[in-house]
Structure 1
């Protein structure tokens, strides 16, 4: 099991990880990174759509989903995500295209093609592609948000996507009942930040 980091290393945005399971290639997320005003949008490293066996979108936020339609300019690949992730991704990407006009390397036809190749799956539903089996787990980050657990040749990898270990009034906490793993790719945006307890933040908001 080999992993190539396409984006989101030492930065927040343009997430993309290519996992090669002895010839079976899974793409985990393919987002965008918006620059400061006047700066161009940044994208993950390029991959050839024809080389991919599956694309998995962990959640709808554009730093994880925003560049997936670019993979449908010249090809077709199965795309897996939860139903809410597809619904929200379509809305957010359509909005991005309206705002950025012709700045993106794709348009509505490619987005529509992506949606035609959408394969909706629920949490803990195992999918086998070639030498790899994967399933989605809840993250607690956003509705439909998921982590990805991959198994291949007796090795296990867990990609958290954006994760929240404490539940909220709307979402359960992340499902981390995954057993032993061999490789972990984990979001660490606020790993060095001490945050207030959620109940305290809620009280302050009400007051």
Structure 2
């Protein structure tokens, strides 16, 4: 029986589409060239593991002078990349809490970027507990971060239902025996919560 629900955040509760934002501020062909030359997602992984936000972006920008100004926008425009919220997912989070279901976050986020997101999206303060990679200095899909969740919640295996948009993050949870749902949209997630008996159909609309 599921005793707690765990949400990923990026592309589950808020959209995370850096390429889309860059396409809005520079020609797509230039954006594609920059992303091909500069591994900006690897840079972001450093931030998600606790690296300092501004300094990590600035160091990357300094290594690629051709793209310096555009790379710096990763810091300055961050809230434009982490947007918008996914309203039905937020409603599902709140419906679970209203039913008394413990709800946690397990997310790859930097220390400073998570603080920014919480300020901009107050619902990110509504979890019973948020397990944030930047604070823990471990990121999904490393099994160690899942172990931390189990150790600190006292929950294991099928007592947990976890949703994430990335297959590799879901796979690690599945290996640990967690119930999992690959997030491809809030409608499917709502249906899963109803199927598990965690929400009534009217609560999931």
Q: TM-score, normalised by structure 2?
A: 0.30
Greater relative contact order: 1 or 2 (C-alpha under 8 angstroms, separation 6 or more)? 2
Higher helix share: 2
More strand by share: 1
